[in-house]
Amino acid sequence: MNIGQAARRSGLSAKMIRYYESIGLLKPANRSDSGYRLYSDDDLHTLAFIKRSRDLGFSLDEVGKLLTLWQDRQRASGDVKALARQHIEELNQKIRELTGLRDTLHELVQSCQGDHRPDCPILKDLESGPYCAH
């Protein structure tokens, strides 16, 4: 199938498919006599794997590691589990950071009168942040 068909079937854009190929996540596509990329069912399976991994928040580097583990039938499942556990911890850290940001912003919104007066605790907090003087 051509790249447009592969894009429709995989749920990825043609641009993303070309990108994944360019960075080595997807093996280079076979080419037709006229130079068009041609994708097989195996390629679609790999694209589905990449898409699901990205949907779960794995970085491109982690997806590469997962692909290597997936393709190695002699690998230990413990290696996969360790990578997934590491990703869970990274997600938990991001959740903690985002929760802190949300809570701070919520407090600022609560302290703002939101009326016609120019005094605004939200803007006052933003201007008090660290900056670099040149």
Angle 82-86-89 from CA coordinates, rounded to 5°: 140
Domain encompassing residue 25: 1-59
Q: How many domains, in total, are found in the chain?
A: 2
Cβ–Cβ < 8 Å for 67, 48: no
For residue 129, what pLDDT is reported?
A: 75
Residues 44 and 84 in one domain: no
Mean per-residue pLDDT, 63-72: 96
**What pLDDT is stored for residue 16 in this prediction?**
97
Ramachandran category for residue 24: left, alpha or beta (phi over 0 → left; psi -120 to 50 → alpha): left
pLDDT at 133: 62
Residue 34 included in any domain: yes
Residue indicated by tokens 């360790």:
82
User: Mind listing the pLDDT tens digit for each residue in 101-125?
Assistant: 999 999 999 999 888 888 888 999 8
In a domain, 110, yes or no: yes
Give residue 39's pLDDT band: very low, low, confident or very high (50, 70, 90). very high
Task: Give, as one character, the DSSP assignment of residue 11.
Answer: T
pLDDT 10s digits, 46-65: 999 999 999 999 999 999 99
Indicate the pLDDT class of residue 128, thresholds 50, 70 and 90.
confident
* Domain assignment of residue 66, yes or no: no
Contacts of 57 (CB under 8 A, 6+ apart): 87, 91
The pTM assigned to this predicted structure is 0.80
Helix, strand, coil % in the chain, rounded to nearest 5: 65, 5, 35
Cβ–Cβ < 8 Å for 54, 11: no
Sequence-separated (6 or more) residues with CB below 8 Å from residue 107: none
- 4: in domain: yes
Task: Give the pLDDT band of residue 132 (cuts 50, 70, 90).
Answer: low
